[in-house]
Amino acid sequence: MPQQLDLYTILMLYANKRHSPYIDINLFLVFLEKYATRASKEHAEWKKWTSDTKTHFYKELPSLVEAKKCELLDNNRRVLMVDFYAALLNPIYKDIDTNAGVPFPDAASLGITLPDEECRILSIKEDLAEYMQNPQKSIMPVIKIVFPDDIPSALVLATAIPRPLLDAALLKVRNFLRTQNNMNFFQRRLLSQMQGKEGFLRDALNMVSVRPLDCIPQIQASGEFISYFWSSFCSAVKSELRKKNDFLSIDIAVFQAVYIIEAFSTLFKEIMIAEREKEMALKALETAIDQPPYAYTMEEIFKFTDSTGRALLGQYTEEDLKEYLNSKSTAADGEELSSLLIYRNKKGEQIFINKQKVFLVCARLAGEARNQIRKALGTRWLRLMRDFNKEPAMENDEQFHQLLTKYVLQFVPDLIYLLRDKRTFLIQCETERSQGGVPLTARFYNPVGILLPMGTLLMLNRKDLLTDARILLPVWYSIPVLSAIFAFFSRLFSGNKNKPQKKETSSSEKEKAPSQEQAIKATAAQIVQKLSAGGKSPEASMADLEKRWHVILNKESKQHLITDIKSLIKDRLRRNLRLNMNQKISEQIIDDLAASIYVEAPVLKKLGDQESLITYIKLYIAKLLLTTKF
């Protein structure tokens, strides 16, 4: 017993004596008091343990627990010595050169009993890859590696994987090659498999024999020849050793070593292949984001595919994707903007756009808005002029631009969100600095950052729109005298004298309204019956169609998408009914409306069965018409 008599040392010595890290406190106290009584006759240091042993023990124990050198178990009846196995195994793996000629340590060589429940058992051939993804983190970090061919198992601490376990294996192989002319034997043996690569083979064997630890970076890099060399070498060693009836200690050591090296070589090769695949997939992701329509939600990015149609998500993990997007959307030091910008759309979703493509997205959205606004504004102004009315936007440019902005918010709100974001102006400034200027057609702001008039951005001219609307009026509207006469009588008959007549007209319209509503609902009912397969209800038919065009597996995301599409259809139908109140609803009109919804919403083209999707839109329009009050 040493002279250093702190409680930790005494507990570790007692644990070694019993070959177990578990110590029964009551038995230990009895032992300590008896031993201290005998030892104190020659060593005064033991005297404090001869009386009030229990008091001294419980006084020093809390500091050991706090320092995590031991743990209390079973309601404080037992002590677990956390460092017990580390104290046994660390010296062996620190002196791997000296132990190169002997097998890896096991319970028998350590003189301990190690129940399976006190360690994690790994099959060297099947479990290593899983272990590397989920390393041991418990307070008993002992790994028991099991080998085929009835080779004794090896004990190693979790902290020794992959190194110094791999270091020890390479030193055992070096020791093996340096004995009994094994170096020349295996060089001749492998030459037949590596014809034309004799120099590479010789260099690889020399490195193992002279500088074995320098082999590890090569194994981790998994070059084509190195992977092939270790696969062939390990297979050849195992084949030769299996011919023996009795294994020497050095044979067991190298048998264990080649299994370990082979497993790590295969694992690192698989990791390298996965990394290359991930790198290629991320490059494909970067290319995909730079393709039209240039602006993508996270849900759309999840569905990106490579050139073969294989989903990119799977070639990289969701965590890899988020890490990539985060790195690309974080500005580097000294830069105002990152290469990938995140905006918010009307629904609050994140939209990812490459910085260089932001103005292309704005131009595309402006084009979509221009066509819709030209049509809507032409209809609006034509109706006003037919009634000999006008509005300020017809005569005042500022009022005209304000009206255009309202239409953009109605039809293409994402354009407004992009243009009102100060980063978009910074992109214009950055482009001017890097390219020496921006073409006038690509400018959205003036030099001080004020957004250009909406008419300028949409390339819509107030006077041109008025002229287009006037062309559609009957010819007498262009003759000042006739126009003035018709305007006079129009105002005259709409005055106070004709209020009873106006009420009468209103009553006749009310009489006609039910018949018009009945006609709309009758048409809608026919379409519902036609599109509902097998006599099913509209809801059941829509559910069947959803399964065909819907490709999202996540239930929550799926429901969000369905809700969004239904909202889009409702808004578009409401707008159409408002603009064409007197239009007779027919099957052809519903077909045209469904087609326009499909064309004007590019995101719909990325879904599944397109024919089923269009049928779904028609069926939902008809279903809405059945329940709408006119």
Q: Is residue 502 part of a domain?
A: no
**pLDDT over 80 (residue 138):** no
Q: Is residue 499 part of a domain?
A: no
What single letter denotes the amino acid at residue 161?
Answer: I
What is the pLDDT at residue 488? 53
Distance CA 204, CA 197 (A): 11
| Pair (102, 216) in one structural domain | yes
- Better-scored residue on pLDDT, 478 or 450: 450
Q: Is residue 286 part of a domain?
A: no
| Pair (522, 457) in one structural domain | no
**pLDDT over 70 (residue 134):** yes
Q: What are the φ and ψ backbone dihedral angles of 341, each rounded to 5 degrees?
A: -105, 145
| Pair (78, 28) in one structural domain | yes
Please, is 382 exposed, middle or buried when counting C-beta atoms within 10 Å of its C-beta (0-12, 13-18, 19+)?
middle
| Pair (451, 359) in one structural domain | yes
What is the pLDDT at residue 128? 83
What is the pLDDT at residue 141? 78
How distant, in Å, are the alpha carbons of 516, 541, 575, 618 from that of 528? Answer: 18, 10, 21, 9
What is the pLDDT at residue 322? 92
**pLDDT over 70 (residue 551):** no
- Better-scored residue on pLDDT, 541 or 376: 376
- Better-scored residue on pLDDT, 325 or 470: 325
Q: Is residue 280 part of a domain?
A: no
Query: Per-residue pLDDT tens for 392-447?
Result: 999 999 999 999 999 999 999 999 989 988 888 888 888 888 776 666 666 888 88
**pLDDT over 70 (residue 386):** yes
**pLDDT over 80 (residue 81):** yes
- Better-scored residue on pLDDT, 628 or 472: 472
What is the pLDDT at residue 542? 82
| Average pLDDT of the segment spanning 263-288 | 92
Q: Is residue 47 part of a domain?
A: yes
With H, G, I as helix, E, B as strand and everything else as coil, classify residue 104.
Answer: coil
| Pair (239, 385) in one structural domain | no
What is the pLDDT at residue 480? 57
For the chain, the average pLDDT equals 84
- Better-scored residue on pLDDT, 291 or 602: 291
With H, G, I as helix, E, B as strand and everything else as coil, classify residue 109.
Answer: helix
What is the pLDDT at residue 507? 43
The residues, any chain, with a CB within 8 Å of residue 118's CB and separated by 6 or more, are 140, 142
Q: Is residue 176 part of a domain?
A: yes
Query: Per-residue pLDDT tens for 459-491?
Result: 999 999 988 888 887 665 555 554 555 555 455
Q: Is residue 464 part of a domain?
A: yes
Indicate the residue among 271, 301, 320 that finishes a domain: 271
Banded model confidence at residue 383, pLDDT cuts 50, 70, 90: confident
Q: Which of 333-342, 410-419, 509-518 has the weakest average pLDDT? A: 509-518
| Pair (387, 310) in one structural domain | yes
Please, is 539 exposed, middle or buried when counting C-beta atoms within 10 Å of its C-beta (0-12, 13-18, 19+)?
exposed
* Joined tokens for residue 87: 């104290």
| Pair (76, 117) in one structural domain | no
| Pair (133, 155) in one structural domain | yes
| Pair (379, 245) in one structural domain | no
Q: CB 342: neighbour CB atoms within 10 A?
A: 15
Indicate the residue among 59, 82, 105 that finishes a domain: 82
Residues 351 and 345 sit within 8 Å (Cβ to Cβ):
yes
Q: What is the DSSP string of 35-58?
A: HHHHHTTT-GGGGGGTSSHHHHHH
Q: Is residue 518 part of a domain?
A: yes
* Joined tokens for residue 147: 């080998």
**pLDDT over 90 (residue 114):** no
Query: Per-residue pLDDT tens for 601-617?
Result: 766 766 777 788 888 88
Q: Smallest Cα–Cα separation from 100: which of 167, 43, 184, 24? A: 167
H or E stretch covering 353: strand 350-354
**pLDDT over 70 (residue 344):** yes
Distance CA 446, CA 628 (A): 47
Query: Per-residue pLDDT tens for 194-249?
Result: 888 999 999 999 999 999 999 999 999 988 899 999 999 999 999 999 998 888 99
Range of the domain at 153: 88-271
Give the pTM: 0.60
Banded model confidence at residue 501, pLDDT cuts 50, 70, 90: very low
Banded model confidence at residue 385, pLDDT cuts 50, 70, 90: confident
H or E stretch covering 295: strand 295-297
What is the pLDDT at residue 504? 41
Residues 454 and 401 sit within 8 Å (Cβ to Cβ):
yes
| Pair (346, 484) in one structural domain | yes
* Joined tokens for residue 628: 């709408």
Please, is 386 exposed, middle or buried when counting C-beta atoms within 10 Å of its C-beta (0-12, 13-18, 19+)?
middle
| Pair (75, 97) in one structural domain | no
What is the pLDDT at residue 393? 92
**pLDDT over 70 (residue 571):** yes
| Pair (206, 320) in one structural domain | no
Number of domains present in the structure of the chain:
4
